[in-house]
């Protein structure tokens, strides 16, 4: 399905990249909301975020202040002139947010992963013209992400944007949620007119990662940033480690280098030709390697040998790992590439064995 989209134009908000949305993870008290919002507005932020209803992993955590917080959002609008946005997860939230005059809605990652909830929200939004920002589902499923936006679009929501907030993974090395950049990049390829906003706060999970992630998102040509900012981050009731003060946020934004998105200079297309040639020989070499692997498969079958010979596999990983390091390739990258090559060899040999 093609999405029927319109740009999210907001009066008084520059259309230049990046569109910036900032504010605390959660609205906690009226004072915290107003102090944070006033400081952000003073630094030129035009769109204020705050979670009013918070999806928590376990009961007993801070689940948001609920409807009283909407009154504080109204005050932010009235006193700072900023647009305001909050997360909605069901039709009751939608109704309350619309009644309070919330300007943009966002859908959280746990909600976009749930088609029933998405349909309920879409139904509640029938006939309403409001921008909706849809976070990627917690699991790395592009179709589910697009499906959530299709449901809203079918209900008549045309001012849509996607928020890339990273994906849950058992591998928690650097990030709280793995960025898996290829997924939003594929989304851009599939739906070029859809704005993509990066959420470095939930990808990184710690404040040191905000600046490099913002820069990375800009370098990938993303359209905007949604960043958690709190007047006293360390005392925040949720996501304390990843929030920054309005002044630190201002500092981070001022340092961003914004590069042109679509330029194809001659030298760039020359370099792209070289990349295409490299890719072509990579495929040729891989095909050659697989032909040899199949021959080995035939040999193993004739001599009744097992396909996977662990010693040999370790030797390959080690040899190529050190060769890769000498050539400036990351060890993790080399490991992943050779694991993929090895599992394709095994698959091809199994085919021969079972013939
Ligand atoms: C949030 O933005 O505070 C939030 C709950 O995010 P996510 O849905 O990405 O976990
Ligand atoms: Mn948060």
Report angle CA 177, 324, 216 to the nearest 5 degrees: 35
Q: Which of 61, 108, 205 to mutate to test the pocket of ligand 1 (most atoms within 8 A of CB)?
A: 108
Q: How far, in Å, from the CA of 110 to the mean position of ligand 1?
A: 8
Looking from the CA of residue 111, the nearest atom of ligand 1 is 8
Looking from the CA of residue 55, the nearest atom of ligand 1 is 5
Integer Cα distance of 227 and 257 in angstroms? 17
Taking phi over 0 as left and psi of -120 to 50 as alpha, with beta for the rest, 101 belongs to: left
pLDDT in tens, the chain (355 residues): 789 999 999 999 999 999 999 999 999 999 999 999 999 999 999 999 999 999 988 888 899 999 999 999 999 999 999 999 999 999 999 999 999 999 999 999 999 999 999 999 999 999 999 999 999 999 999 999 999 999 999 999 999 999 999 999 887 679 999 999 999 999 999 999 999 999 999 999 999 999 999 999 999 999 999 999 999 999 999 999 999 999 999 999 999 999 887 756 677 888 888 899 899 999 999 999 999 999 999 998 999 988 877 888 889 889 998 888 888 899 899 999 999 999 999 999 999 988 8
Neighbours of 354 (CB within 10 A): 7
Q: Which of 250, 237, 247 is nearest to 32 (CA)?
A: 237
Which of helix, strand or coil describes residue 346?
Answer: helix
Integer Cα distance of 228 and 226 in angstroms? 7
Q: How far, in Å, from the CA of 107 to the mean position of ligand 1?
A: 8
Q: Sort 59 into a burial class: Cβ within 10 Å, 0-12 / 13-18 / 19+.
A: exposed
Report angle CA 318, 322, 323 to the nearest 5 degrees: 115
Residues with CB under 6 A from ligand 1: 25, 51, 55, 108-109, 135, 165, 202
Q: What pTM was estimated for this model as a whole?
A: 0.81
Q: Sort 304 into a burial class: Cβ within 10 Å, 0-12 / 13-18 / 19+.
A: exposed
Pairing mode, strands 224-228 and 132-135: unpaired
Pairing mode, strands 224-228 and 19-23: parallel
């Amino acid at each position: 399905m093609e999405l029927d989209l319109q740009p999210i134009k907001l009066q008084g908000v520059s259309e230049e990249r990046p569109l910036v949305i900032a504010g605390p993870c959660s609205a906690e008290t009226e004072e915290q909301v107003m102090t944070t919002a006033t400081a952000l507005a003073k630094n030129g932020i035009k769109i204020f975020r705050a979670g009013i209803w918070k999806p928590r992993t376990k009961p007993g955590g801070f689940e948001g202040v609920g409807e009283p917080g909407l009154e504080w959002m109204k005050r932010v609008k009235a006193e700072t002139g900023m647009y305001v946005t909050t997360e909605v997860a069901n039709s009751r939230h939608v109704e309350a947010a619309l009644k309070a005059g919330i300007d943009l809605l966002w859908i959280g990652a746990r909600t976009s992963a749930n088609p029933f909830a998405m349909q309920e929200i879409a139904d509640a939004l029938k006939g309403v013209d409001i921008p909706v920002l849809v976070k990627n589902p917690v699991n790395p499923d592009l179709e589910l992400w697009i499906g959530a936006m299709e449901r809203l679009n079918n209900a008549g929501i045309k001012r849509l944007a996607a928020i890339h907030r990273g994906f849950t993974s058992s591998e928690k090395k650097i990030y709280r949620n793995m960025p898996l950049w290829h997924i939003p990049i594929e989304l851009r390829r599939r739906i070029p007119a859809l704005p993509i906003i990066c959420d470095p706060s939930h990808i990184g999970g710690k404040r040191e990662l905000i600046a490099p992630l913002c820069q990375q998102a800009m370098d990938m040509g993303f359209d905007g940033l949604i960043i958690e900012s709190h007047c006293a981050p360390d005392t925040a009731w949720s996501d304390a480690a990843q929030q920054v003060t309005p002044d630190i946020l201002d500092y981070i934004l001022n340092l961003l280098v914004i590069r042109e998105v679509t330029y194809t200079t001659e030298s760039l297309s020359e370099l792209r030709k070289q990349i295409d040639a490299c890719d072509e020989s990579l495929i040729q070499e891989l095909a050659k390697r697989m032909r040899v692997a199949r021959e080995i498969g035939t040999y193993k079958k004739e001599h009744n040998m097992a396909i996977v010979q662990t010693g040999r596999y370790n030797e390959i990983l080690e040899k190529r790992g050190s060769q890769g390091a000498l050539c400036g390739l990351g060890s993790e990258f080399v490991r992943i590439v050779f694991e993929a090559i090895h599992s394709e060899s095994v698959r091809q040999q199994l085919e021969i064995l079972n013939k």
